[in-house]
Chains A and B, each alone.
Chain A
Amino acid sequence: MYYFSQALIAVFLFSAQTTWLEIFSFGGVTPDLILVWVVYCGVRYSRSSGIGAGIALGLAQDSLSGGLLGVNTLSKSLIAYFFSTLKNKFYVEGMIPIGIFLIVSSIFDGLVFYFSMGTILKGEVASSFLYQSLPIYSIYNALIGPFMFVVLDKIDDWLQPKMSNPYMGMRR
């Protein structure tokens, strides 16, 4: 039940990301729902579940993109790893900490793309990427993230009592 519901959330988020989210593009940039969900998994779930979710979501994102396989797997799994490791050392409730986490993760995610594009793929990246697209991307994610956290918390709270095996509940 739990894993099925998580798969449904993944399908919904990926479908939204690849179809109608374009409507909300600002300066050619849209928020990354998958990144927000990875940070959510890192912060809210146990360490192994968070990292597992990061790897799975990164791999799925790579498969659904035309980019180099492994770039998102690397960034998403490291983001999940860092937040699942650091969550006990920081206060992670409230809009501001979540927003800061999302800004940091977005910058990291963008930089992984930037360096992989420049080194492995030898592709072109516009000079405005670092000072225009990446800041917009980070701020956009930081703005949308806390609301997504609230929705995902609600879904998780609703699912918890419905699980047959209480140990499958991965909220820390």
Chain B
Amino acid sequence: MPRKGNKSKKNIVLVSAILLFSLALMTLNAKQEKGTGFLDSVAGFILSPFQNFFTQTIQSVSDSINHHFLLVDVARENDQLKLEIQRLISEKNQLIERLASQKRLAKLMAYEDDWDKKIVVASVIGRDATQWSKVVVINKGTQNGIRDHLAVVTDAGVIGQVIHAGVNTSKVLLIIDGRSAVDALFQDNRVSGVVVGMGEDECKLKFVPNTADVKVGDTMLSSGLGGIFPKGLVIGKVSQVSRKKQGLFQEITLTPSSDFSRLEEVLVLLP
């Protein structure tokens, strides 16, 4: 009997120790963002060569299958045309945005060209080690000028922000993650809202008043508020709108313009 009592005491102590340790970690991490930097950097440093190796291997195998064994020229041409279409759509959106800005502000101030910023091209070498966070790892870090809270984009639009810059690698929190929030506005009617991730392929658009005229297909741009994302970057298009009689705000679902399952190269916008 006393042995059984000892055993259950041991169990209680063990479970309490696990709970205390984990909760202490969570509290520390939640209170000070920098707390996990060391662990992140060490883990990233150890794993990044392997991630690079795996990613490059998969890339070359995938390229071989796509470009050599199947339709060599057609696949290549198709890739190029898709890139060209993405570039043209992006350029068109930029031009529309620039034109609108010019019209509003021409008499007040000189237009500040957001696209003159320095950029760093980085490759995605890994994804989050857990199932639920939407984070990718890129192969550039502080030695390339990257630091926390910089905007990360592709030619299709915004993908997220840097949340931890290590020496050689950085973690990017995607806009579809549940912790992400980006201040945004509609390209056409200039109504603002906040794009919030849901941990899935789509985002929610919050705080858009019921009175605003929003249609499926409307384009959402970053508003420039918040200091991370420059104004006028494409975030996505409205895919679903519903208005409730009781609520103040509409329920809007947004499909991001970037395909997060096929991220390969990204651009980090330096300040």
Residues of A with Cβ closer than 8 Å to B?
Answer: 11-12, 14-20, 22-23, 25, 28-30, 32, 34, 51, 55, 59-74, 77-78, 81, 85, 110, 113, 116-117, 120-121, 123-126, 128-129, 133, 137
* A85 CB to nearest chain B CB (Å): 7
Contact of A60 among B36, B43, B173 (CB under 8 A): B43
- A125 touching B178 in the complex, CB below 8 Å, given contacts A18-B128, A18-B137: yes
Contact of B29 among A22, A29, A32, A69 (CB under 8 A): A69
- A34 touching B129 in the complex, CB below 8 Å, given contacts A63-B40, A66-B173, A69-B29: yes
Tell yes or no: B164 within 8 A of A by CB.
yes
Q: Hey, which chain B residues are within 8 Å of A113, CB to CB?
A: 130-132
Interface residues on B, range: 35 or more
* B126 CB to nearest chain A CB (Å): 4
Q: Hey, which chain A residues are within 8 Å of B36, CB to CB?
A: 62-63, 69
Of the candidates A17, A25, A67, A116, the one having the most CB atoms from chain B within 10 angstroms of its own CB is A67
Q: Hey, which chain B residues are within 8 Å of A125, CB to CB?
A: 178, 198-199
Which 5 residue pairs across A and B have the least CB separation, nearest first? Answer: A66-B135, A70-B25, A74-B22, A64-B129, A123-B178
Contact A18 B131 (CB under 8 A): no
Q: Hey, which chain A residues are within 8 Å of B133, CB to CB?
A: 65-67
- A32 touching B54 in the complex, CB below 8 Å, given contacts A51-B14, A64-B44, A64-B47: no
Tell yes or no: B99 within 8 A of A by CB.
no
In the complex, the chain B residue whose C-beta lies closest to that of A13 is: B129
- A74 touching B23 in the complex, CB below 8 Å, given contacts A11-B50, A124-B196: yes
Tell yes or no: B188 within 8 A of A by CB.
no
* B25 CB to nearest chain A CB (Å): 3
- Main DSSP-derived SS at the B contact region: helix
Tell yes or no: B214 within 8 A of A by CB.
no
A-B residue pairs in contact (CB < 8 Å), sample of 16: A15-B51, A15-B126, A16-B54, A19-B55, A29-B131, A51-B14, A64-B47, A66-B173, A68-B30, A70-B29, A71-B130, A85-B11, A120-B26, A121-B30, A123-B199, A133-B199
In Å, the complex CA distance between A25 and B201 comes to 13
* A80 CB to nearest chain B CB (Å): 9
Contact B130 A126 (CB under 8 A): no
In Å, the complex CA distance between A133 and B163 comes to 25
Q: Hey, which chain A residues are within 8 Å of B43, CB to CB?
A: 60, 63-64
Q: Hey, which chain A residues are within 8 Å of B46, CB to CB?
A: 11
Contact A69 B39 (CB under 8 A): yes
Contact A19 B18 (CB under 8 A): no
Contact B51 A117 (CB under 8 A): no
Q: Using a CB-CB cutoff of 8 Å, which residues 32-71 of chain B contact chain A?
A: 35-36, 39-40, 42-44, 46-47, 50-51, 53-55, 58
